[in-house]
Structure 1
Amino acid sequence: MHTRGRRLRFTAVLALTVLTLTGFSTGRHHSHSRHGSSGGGGGCSSSSQDHDTSTSSGGSTSGSTHRSRPTYRSTPTATSSATARPLKDGTAVLKRCASVEDPYSTVEVRNPNGREALFTVKVTYKAGNGSTLADTTSQVSVPANGRATLRMAAAGTGALDRLDHCEVDPRATADR
């Protein structure tokens, strides 16, 4: 009989501890009327809540506060693109047009993004009468908020003797 009393007392203390840790306490429950609830109190606690048991002066529960614990989410990985902002297109400026002596055009590409990006650049080679001799595209990696110089080989080097001028697409397309 003596052991049974200790078990009962241990069970009561354990139950009170569990109730205290989960946000319930003795003497602080409010009764609920049949037509709705009057006041707060009682209720269930979840593992994502933290109940502050402090009260305002006078011992009423109207001054108690409720704070939520931060929600823990998985850390995004490098392969996750859901949170990454889409890249903005860069700008391309022709610095030098190809010629028979040097069959490369030089283009400067600027990156407006806060991270390194790969850009596609297009150069069009025009004859004196305005007709297109060739188009070439090339890609260049540009550092965050920086610029890079790209040398592009002219397509159809046989047409270089008829080349009058080069035109660069001012929009360097960001590789999405």
Structure 2
Amino acid sequence: MHTRGRRLKLTAVLALTVLTLTGFSTGRHHSSSRHGSSGGGGGCSSSSQDHDTSTSSTSGGSTGGSTHRSRPTYRSTPTATSSVTARPLKDGTAVLKRCASVADPYTTVEVRNPNGREALFTVKVAYKDRTGFTMADAGSQVSVPANGRATLRMAAASTGALDRLDHCEVDPRATADR
């Protein structure tokens, strides 16, 4: 009779050990589709472990209390931040298309952008008389699309001096604002 009690205790201890090692516990069932395997639950060495993507919390402040499971939370995937800064803008080119006159007091300049992104360029024009004296300087800005061109119409600096104006000189370098 004494041996029979030992066998019963040994069997109970072995059964409890097997259940503990395979992750089975009361009140908690694992679905095989949740873990993506065709076998049953298991593999946990403690019933308090949780290998799901969902979060869990224990009520009552003790580890033996009931477990409340919430829906899985979707965590954002970290993205690599670029440590490379944007390349500095190259200057564009400016070409005089038409100088201001008494009949039309606007100077027309075509500006080209060699950059792969839109940029703002500053254009400078000098208004000169017959002797080459600079009567006035003017500057204006224009936004030019990536690898494109834009036409800029600039008002003459002084309409009173247009009758003495002989020609316009445009700085061929359109400065990119950085």
TM-score by length of 1: 0.55
In structure 2, the CA distance between the partners of 1:75 and 1:167, relative to structure 1 (3 Å rule), is: farther
User: 1:87: how far off?
Assistant: 0.2
Q: Secondary structure at the match of 2:61?
A: coil
Q: Secondary structure at the match of 2:16?
A: helix
**Is the contact between residue 50 and residue 69 of structure 1 (CA under 8 Å) also seen in structure 2?**
no
Q: What is the aligned-residue identity percentage? A: 91
1:47 and 1:87 map into 2 onto residues whose CA distance is 61
In structure 2, the CA distance between the partners of 1:60 and 1:75, relative to structure 1 (3 Å rule), is: closer
| CA offsets 1:106-160 (integer angstroms, 9 cap, x no match) | 0000000000000000010000011001011000000000000000001011111
Residue number in structure 1 paired with 2:14? 14
In structure 2, the CA distance between the partners of 1:77 and 1:139, relative to structure 1 (3 Å rule), is: farther
Q: Which ranges of structure 1 fall in alignment gaps of 5 or more residues?
A: none
TM-score by length of 2: 0.55
Larger radius of gyration between Structure 1 and Structure 2: 2
**Higher strand residue share:** 1
Q: Which ranges of structure 2 fall in alignment gaps of 5 or more residues?
A: none
Query: RMSD value over aligned CA atoms?
Result: 13.4
Deviates more, 1:162-171 or 1:34-43: 34-43
Residue number in structure 1 paired with 2:172? 170
